[in-house]
Amino acid sequence: MQPSYILSLENVDAYYGPIQVLYDINIRIQKGELVCLLGGNASGKSTTLKTILGTCKPKKGTIRLKGERIDGFPTKRIISKGVAVVPENRRIFPRLTVLENLEMGAYLRKDTAQVKRDIDRILELFSLLGDRIHQFGMTLSGGEQQMLAMARALLSNPEILLMDEPSMGLSPRLVDQQFELIQQVHKQGTTIFMVEQNANMALSIADRGYVLQTGVIVLSDTAENLLNSEMMQEAYLGERGM
């Protein structure tokens, strides 16, 4: 029997107008996994997430969420089926408080009592946000906004959490803090697909990884094997001097 995947992309091609950006992408993610997609600038990482979310329509191939085809669905429908995202630029609501931002994450849920319990549970993990619960989003630091965006996404109770470069724009200390949080959220059972340029950091917490080069997946392996792979060092890590 085939293993059951939360999310799978099979032979996916994606274009912006006439320009092809993704070539024959195959990615499979099982329940509870933390999988990363690595690659340099313009390699197609964000486009992969946009294609999963339906904001960029695949021209060829199949995307499934828990076995059901979702390619071609409108983004709203894909989100309502359990795909949450922390986008590249975070996009929290600047004029809402931290608490209101969190509540927005759960706006599709009808189980209000459970939402309250989930907010309390999430604030235990994201304790820094608890201290700022009535502060406006726009007054948070970059690292705090990244935390809020992730906490808000988790409040939709997603089948899978997509993250676009959680380390972007954060100081090394905040990157450590952010990755520690991602690891804890993963340990509590959330399935995560994370896009990152910071390969060493991402692989240090991931189960598996894929490496994208100009729209093509050139490597795919366990995080441990990728960290020790010569090809990886040459193709990616070496190039960045990490």
Ligand X SMILES: Nc1ncnc2c1ncn2[C@@H]1O[C@H](COP(=O)(O)OP(=O)(O)OP(=O)(O)O)[C@@H](O)[C@H]1O
Interaction site with ligand X (CB under 6 A): 16, 21, 39, 41-47, 197
Q: Which of 10, 24, 30, 46 binds Mg ion (CB under 5 A)?
A: 46
Q: Do β-strands 19-30 and 5-16 pair in parallel, antiparallel, or remain unpaired?
A: antiparallel
Whole-angstrom CA distances from 147 to 3, 59, 214 are: 32, 34, 30
Given the complex with ligand X, which of 45 and 208 has the nearer CB atom?
A: 45
Is residue 197 within the footprint of Mg ion (CB under 5 A)?
no
Looking at beta carbons, which residue is closest to Mg ion?
46
Closest CA to 86 of 149, 140, 178: 149
Nearer to ligand X, 39 or 105 (CB): 39
Which lies closer to Mg ion via its Cβ, residue 20 or residue 46?
46
Q: How many residues does the chain have?
A: 242
From the list Mg ion, ligand X, none, pick the one residue 21 interacts with, judged by a Cβ distance below 5 to 8 Å according to partner type. Answer: ligand X
CB 170 to ligand X: min, Å: 15
Cβ closest to ligand X, residue 2 vs residue 41 = 41
Q: Is 151 helix (H, G, I), strand (E, B) or coil?
A: helix
CB 35 within 8 A of CB 194: yes
CB of 154 to Mg ion, least distance (A): 21
What is the rounded CA–CA span in Å between residue 74 and residue 189? Answer: 27
Q: With contact defined as beta carbons under 8 Å apart, do 142 and 151 qualify?
A: no
Note the residues at the interface with Mg ion (CB under 5 A). 45-46
